[in-house]
Amino acid sequence: MTNATGRYSFRSLIPGDYQINVTKLPGYFGVENVTIESNKTKLVNVSIDYIPVNVSGQTIDQEDMIPIYNVSIAFAPDRSIANNTARFSSARSDETGYYSVLLRPGTYNVSVSQPVNVSGQIVTYTYSGHLIVNVGEGVKTFDILLAREE
């Protein structure tokens, strides 16, 4: 546990390798590896960052509500938001149309433009929308309803 200024200390540690794990709920964490030597004092600062949020859902044809598989999804930071903490990421839906991605809290522009062979005909599925991922959210469901363009 840290004090009011964020300081912490351990006494009488056996020399060796340690991992310092820091958590500030609901949405921050930090990890720092340190080697302790015999009869030495060591000062270690641990930086904290946002805990990623597990965002998952399905890629679904919005007309017939059937899952579409093997769809590439782009999660790009929304540049119109000041001080947005989002970082670019991508995901691909599996054979059931399910996807999962770890996203840093922030506001995202989500986009899909995926050509798919449907019974010998190339069909392009598209999507464009926004996603807000909040600090400490942990898990979020975000289904993507795809528009079909022939």
pLDDT tens per residue across span 28-80: 889 999 999 998 888 999 998 999 999 999 999 999 999 999 999 999 999 99
Domain 53-149 fold: Immunoglobulin-like (2.60.40)
pTM of the shown model: 0.81
- What backbone phi and psi angles, to 5 degrees, belong to 36? -100, 130
Q: Determine contact, residues 107/132, Cβ cutoff 8 Å.
A: yes
Tokens 């919005």 locate to 62
Q: How confident is the model at residue 5 (pLDDT cuts 50, 70, 90)?
A: confident
Report the distance separating Cα 32 and Cα 80, nearest Å.
34
Structure tokens at 32: 């720092």
* Nearest alpha carbon to residue 54 among 130, 146, 134: 134
Q: Could you state, in order of their start, the residue ranges of all structural domains in the chain?
A: 1-51, 53-149
Report the distance separating Cα 86 and Cα 147, nearest Å.
25
pLDDT of residue 54: 98
pLDDT of residue 116: 86
